[in-house]
Amino acid sequence: MILDQFKLDGQVAVVTGASRGLGLSVATALAQAGADIVSVQRSGNTAAIEDAVREAGRKILCLSLDVAEITAAQRVLDATLAHFGHVDILVNNAGITKRTPSADFALADFDALINTNLRSLFLFCQVFGREMLRQGHGKIINMGSLLSYQGGFTVPAYAASKHAVSGLTKSLCNEWASKGINVNCIAPGYMATDMNVALMNDPVRSRQIGERIPAGRWGAADDVGGLAVFLASSASSFIHGQTIAVDGGWMAR
Ligand SMILES: NC(=O)c1ccc[n+]([C@@H]2O[C@H](COP(=O)([O-])OP(=O)(O)OC[C@H]3O[C@@H](n4cnc5c(N)ncnc54)[C@H](OP(=O)(O)O)[C@@H]3O)[C@@H](O)[C@H]2O)c1
């Protein structure tokens, strides 16, 4: 039956940046679909995701660490296997942004952003990919952005990192699609999360953005959960290397 293909019962999902925002929503949706969750974030503020996963009747392991550290991916894989014994789904969601005119953009900020949004994402794909290749199956979902397609304004490092995330998704797809691993990318539009507080508090920019979205509203964190479950499930088994926008129609304008 078709709805059975969306079930994630007995599966283990690692979600980076699951403590709040889109990651919290994605991890909650995966848990409600049946997956146990490994939640990765720097802070110890994990009450929301712990409550949501337990409410869904699933198990959770919280790991507080910085994904930009070079050993982070291996530490997360080792802890996941020690705790749950296997891993089926990886969601590379943790990300940061920095808004500064390009002429003034500090190299240290550029490096920090690329390390968090891109280098760490590659390392997580590589380390978890090796385990998924060994077991012969796995689902990897990378968090891109509308800036996987567009340049944005005063966000040079963020746009570069998110274009690269989409390109890396295609590159890994070409190597791993025949080996039982689906690698895809979600490109959220303008979503009401902590990352966009400054934009939302700017009445002019907030109104301009809202007026350009065909759906007539900003996205909510919960708007990405359905696509994440789909891409994590066997219902999407023939979908590889895609970057799929969840943007209220923004890219159609
Ligand atoms: N909001 C949007 O409109 C939008 C649009 C397109 C794409 N995205 C992308 O979607 C993803 C999530 O965005 P969001 O809006 O939900 O962001 P958010 O509300 O700022 O949440 C970011 C999450 O990532 C974690 N995180 C950040 N840096 C980390 C690091 N170095 N190591 C471990 N965890 C880290 C944060 O926890 P700690 O602070 O505890 O580490 C938090 O859980 C990002 O990749 C973002 O680029 C967002």
At 19-49, the pLDDT tens digits run 999 999 999 999 999 999 999 999 999 999 9
Range of the domain at 174: 2-246
Minimum CA distance residue for ligand 1 atom 34: 41
Q: Give domain status of residue 50, yes or no.
A: yes
Q: What is the mean pLDDT of residues 101-117?
A: 98
pTM: 0.98
**DSSP reduced 3-state for 13:** strand
* pLDDT band with cut points at 50, 70 and 90 for residue 134: very high
Q: Give domain status of residue 253, yes or no.
A: no
User: Looking at this protein, which amino acid is placed at residue 133?
Assistant: L
| Torsional sign, CA 47, 49, 55, 60 | negative
Q: How far apart are CA 214 and CA 165, in angstroms?
A: 26
Q: Give domain status of residue 93, yes or no.
A: yes
* pLDDT band with cut points at 50, 70 and 90 for residue 138: very high
Give pLDDT, residue 189. Answer: 98
Q: Give domain status of residue 252, yes or no.
A: no
| Residue 149 annotated to the active site | no
% of the chain residues with pLDDT over 90? 99
Q: What is the mean pLDDT of residues 108-128?
A: 98
Q: Give domain status of residue 115, yes or no.
A: yes
* pLDDT band with cut points at 50, 70 and 90 for residue 175: very high
Q: What is the mean pLDDT of residues 129-148?
A: 98
**Residues 89/139, Cβ–Cβ less than 8 Å:** yes
CA angle in degrees (0–180, nearest 5) for 180-78-119? 70
Catalytic, out of 110, 128, 158, 218: 158
**DSSP reduced 3-state for 36:** strand
**Atom of ligand 1 lying closest to residue 25 CA:** 16
Give the DSSP letter string of 52-100: HHHHTT--EEEEE--TTSTTHHHHHHHHHHHHHS---EEEE--------
Q: Give domain status of residue 119, yes or no.
A: yes
Q: Give domain status of residue 58, yes or no.
A: yes
Minimum CA distance residue for ligand 1 atom 33: 41
Q: What CATH number is associated with residue 168?
A: 3.40.50.720
Q: Give domain status of residue 251, yes or no.
A: no
Cβ count near 53 (within 10 Å) = 25
> How many structural domains compose the chain?
1
Per-residue model confidence as pLDDT tens digits over 52-97: 999 999 999 999 999 999 999 999 999 999 999 999 999 999 999 9
Protein residues with CB under 6 Å of any ligand 1 atom: 16-17, 19-23, 40-43, 66-68, 93-96, 116, 143, 145, 188, 190-191, 193-196
130: CB partners within 8 A, 6+ apart = none
CA distance readout (Å), 168 to 104, 132, 243: 28, 17, 11
**DSSP reduced 3-state for 18:** coil
Give pLDDT, residue 109. Answer: 98
Pocket test residue of 24, 43, 142, 195 for ligand 1, highest count of atoms within 8 A of CB: 195
Give pLDDT, residue 75. Answer: 98
Nearest alpha carbon to residue 39 among 106, 94, 112: 94
Q: How far apart are CA 127 and CA 87, in angstroms?
A: 12
